[in-house]
Chains A and B, each alone.
Chain A
Amino acid sequence: DSGVTQTPKHLITATGQRVTLRCSPRSGDLSVYWYQQSLDQGLQFLIQYYNGEERAKGNILERFSAQQFPDLHSELNLSSLELGDSALYFCASSAGVYNEQFFGPGTRLTVL
């Protein structure tokens, strides 16, 4: 158990819908990262927050957005969902910006 929690574990929704994935980092960690893992694209870094501020952006679509709240939990919002958005979404946390990351168990999103 890494100490990073993600909810929900599974999510099934329809195209065009909007969903919110939630992540609670390990106690004391200030950085939160979001990743998307799919069979065809592999593991893709989406975005990183550090202490509430966006720190780095990866291959995140404009339909996706994230934020980190004052209590350091983070949410990833996915809108106008497409079939191709079906994937495992991982959250990770780290103490600072350059430290090793600890991954949550993931949220499996299925878009029908």
Chain B
Amino acid sequence: AQSVTQLDSHVSVSEGTPVLLRCNYSSSYSPSLFWYVQHPNKGLQLLLKYTSAATLVKGINGFEAEFKKSETSFHLTKPSAHMSDAAEYFCVVSGDTGGFKTIFGAGTRLFVKA
């Protein structure tokens, strides 16, 4: 069975400081992993994806995530937060377990203080 846990429901950072959004997953095989961002009253936008190539994945807007199989983690980071990064972030695991499933984490709301 697959599952995904986002360890923080809310994260607050100051503009210009690093961002860390944590995600742990559970899967009995090698899944595909994604991070999506949702700005208020908008649809979801893909930030980045991991599909068993390089373990360090670079995405849009300066975000990146590192796949660590030993820790079953896929944390999202950004060196320097910008006000426009304030949004909800979703970690997603997907794959085929006899019926393709996509599972979203509960989301982490990122607040950026000026």
Report A's interface with B, CB cutoff 8 A: 2, 4, 33, 35, 42-45, 48, 55-58, 90, 92, 97-98, 100-106
Contacts and interface: CB of A to CB of B under 8 A. Distances in A.
Listed residue (B45, B96, B99, B102) with the most chain A CB atoms within 10 angstroms of its CB: B102
B44 A103 contact: yes
B49 A42 contact: no
A2 B101 contact: no
Interface residues of B, number: 22
Given A43-B90, A56-B101, A90-B44, 5 more contacts: A58-B101, A90-B43, A98-B94, A101-B34, A104-B43
B87 interface: no
Interface in B58-114: 90, 94-96, 99-104, 106-107
Interface string B35-70: 010000011111001010000000000000000000
Q: Is the interface of B mostly helix, strand, loop or mixed?
A: strand
A33 to B, nearest CB: 7
Contacts of A103: 36, 43-45
Given A43-B107, A100-B34, A2 B43 contact: yes
26 contacts: A2-B43, A2-B45, A4-B43, A33-B102, A42-B106, A42-B107, A43-B90, A44-B104, A45-B104, A55-B100, A56-B100, A56-B101, A56-B102, A90-B43, A97-B96, A97-B100, A98-B96, A98-B100, A100-B34, A100-B49, A101-B34, A101-B46, A103-B36, A103-B45, A105-B43, A106-B43
Listed residue (B32, B46, B106) with the most chain A CB atoms within 10 angstroms of its CB: B46
